């Protein structure tokens, strides 16, 4: 049983098939850096409370740095029988400094060690996602200048509804991604309590000081209940869910732009660098990047179900099922981060086909709602105004004309409240000029929103 951290009470070797079945080094090796950080903090705490000497602490910390360097350079050998990254690092430490290395695990268990590592790793991942979301917001805000003055048809039920400034579309995505950022920040605040020192499930009789390690590792507090620590994976479930909503928002954006790229819409042109061709049809420019962003969202949604199903029936404290917890997180993070790496460039380099948009902008009676509001301002009850405009739209459909082309006599036959100033509210440009409620898609409110977003993002650090 040489090399096993738990082999003292066992008289038989582990079946090699069991070792292969139970190993996690194939996927948790990516925790090496945070495992070393946590172990170094633990060693410093042990020295401060007198459980190891200052010299022993120095040996442990320095040797862990050497091991970490070897792992980073790809010079470290992994062995299935050592199960996980935690045992690999501890085994290498003991191999190099003997009994001093054996003292490192004093006052902790793999249960609290693993939870600490995951929290440190998740915390770094959430920060990385937050930074990428800011870059995506910057890309959308930059588009407001590129597309200044452009008006787009807004849709409900994928049917033309009302016109809005193009910038209004771009800032709508900024709002979605801002909520995603807030969810990440909320999740980070809840996970940022230290599990280290809770040991297996009951704590320790040794005079450890959990607040020292919490401070060294940047945690805001220590977890209050050692029994809860071993089984708590709320932070993983919550962070995966937060990532799933990022993926959903990315998917919705991708879907809209995929539609806009079609000949039927003709609103958008993607650059060649973000499209692919067909093996048989020479004319094709397929929006594969956007389609994969849309498709990959399914994996992240599935990761939510995986972690929740894993947790739903576990009794209190640690169970080996929890070895599987990291797979869902790793997959969700890798997927969302990859999408966020590409998304800002796609937003930046795409171009609206303004001539095509303008040519059809007056189609679909986008000014009907504003005409109804014109009647409301003249004392007509909303429901009555709605009915009047509905009949006028039907009349225009029969005549195959737009509302702005309808003779004044036809308007006045529908309502005596309508005068010749009605033509000042009809037509897409007149509509966006009149939209004035806070947060609306009219020119004035949109300009206010753009300025607010520019000021907000100017204070955000940029990613390297």
- Specify whether 157 is catalytic: yes
Q: Considering 91, 105, 278, 415, which one is annotated as catalytic?
A: 278
CA-atom Rg of the chain in angstroms: 30
- Specify whether 279 is catalytic: no
What is the C-alpha to C-alpha distance for residues 434 and 442, in angstroms, rounded to an integer? 7
Q: Considering 157, 205, 279, 437, which one is annotated as catalytic?
A: 157
Beta-sheet pairing, 151-156 with 159-165: antiparallel
Q: Please identify every residue annotated as catalytic.
A: 157, 278
């Amino acid at each position: 049983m040489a090399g096993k951290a738990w082999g003292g009470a066992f008289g038989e070797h582990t079946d090699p098939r069991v070792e292969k079945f139970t190993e996690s080094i194939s996927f948790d090796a990516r925790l090496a850096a945070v495992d070393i950080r946590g172990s170094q903090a633990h060693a410093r705490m042990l020295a401060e409370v007198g459980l190891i000497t200052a010299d022993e602490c120095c040996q442990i910390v320095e040797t862990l740095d050497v091991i970490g360097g070897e792992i980073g350079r790809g010079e470290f050998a992994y062995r299935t029988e050592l199960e996980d990254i935690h045992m690999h690092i501890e085994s290498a430490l003991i191999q190099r400094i003997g009994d001093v290395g054996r003292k490192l695990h004093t006052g902790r268990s793999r249960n609290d060690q693993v939870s600490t590592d995951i929290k440190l790793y998740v915390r770094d991942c959430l920060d990385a996602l937050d930074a990428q979301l800011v870059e995506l917001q910057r890309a959308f805000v930059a588009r407001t200048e590129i597309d200044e003055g452009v008006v787009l048809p807004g849709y409900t039920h994928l049917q033309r509804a009302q016109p809005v400034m193009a910038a209004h579309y771009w800032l709508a995505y900024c709002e979605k991604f801002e909520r995603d950022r807030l969810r990440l920040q909320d999740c980070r605040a809840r996970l940022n309590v230290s599990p280290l020192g809770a040991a297996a499930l009951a704590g320790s009789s040794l005079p450890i000081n959990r607040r020292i390690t919490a401070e060294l590792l940047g945690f805001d507090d220590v977890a209050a209940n050692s029994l809860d620590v071993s089984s708590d994976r709320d932070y993983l479930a919550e962070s995966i869910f937060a990532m799933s909503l990022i993926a959903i928002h990315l998917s919705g954006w991708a879907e809209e732009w995929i539609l806009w790229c079609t000949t039927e819409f003709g609103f958008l042109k993607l650059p060649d660098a973000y499209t692919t061709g067909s093996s048989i049809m020479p004319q094709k420019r397929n929006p594969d990047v956007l389609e994969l962003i849309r498709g990959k969202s399914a994996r992240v949604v599935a990761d939510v179900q995986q972690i929740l199903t894993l947790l739903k029936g576990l009794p209190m404290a640690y169970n080996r099922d929890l070895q599987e917890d990291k797979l869902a997180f790793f997959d969700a993070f890798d997927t969302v981060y990859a999408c966020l790496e590409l998304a800002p460039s796609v937003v930046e380099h795409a171009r609206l086909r303004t001539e095509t948009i303008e040519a059809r902008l007056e189609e679909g009676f986008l000014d009907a709602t504003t005409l109804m509001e014109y009647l409301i301002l003249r004392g007509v009850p909303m429901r009555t105004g709605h009915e009047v405009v509905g009949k006028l739209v039907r009349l225009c459909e029969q005549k195959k004309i737009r509302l702005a082309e309808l003779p004044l006599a036809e308007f006045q036959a529908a309502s005596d409240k309508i005068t010749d100033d009605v033509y000042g509210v009809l037509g897409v440009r007149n509509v966006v000029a009149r939209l004035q409620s806070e947060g609306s898609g009219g020119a004035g409110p949109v300009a206010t929103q753009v300025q607010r977003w520019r000021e907000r993002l100017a204070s955000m650090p940029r990613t390297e």
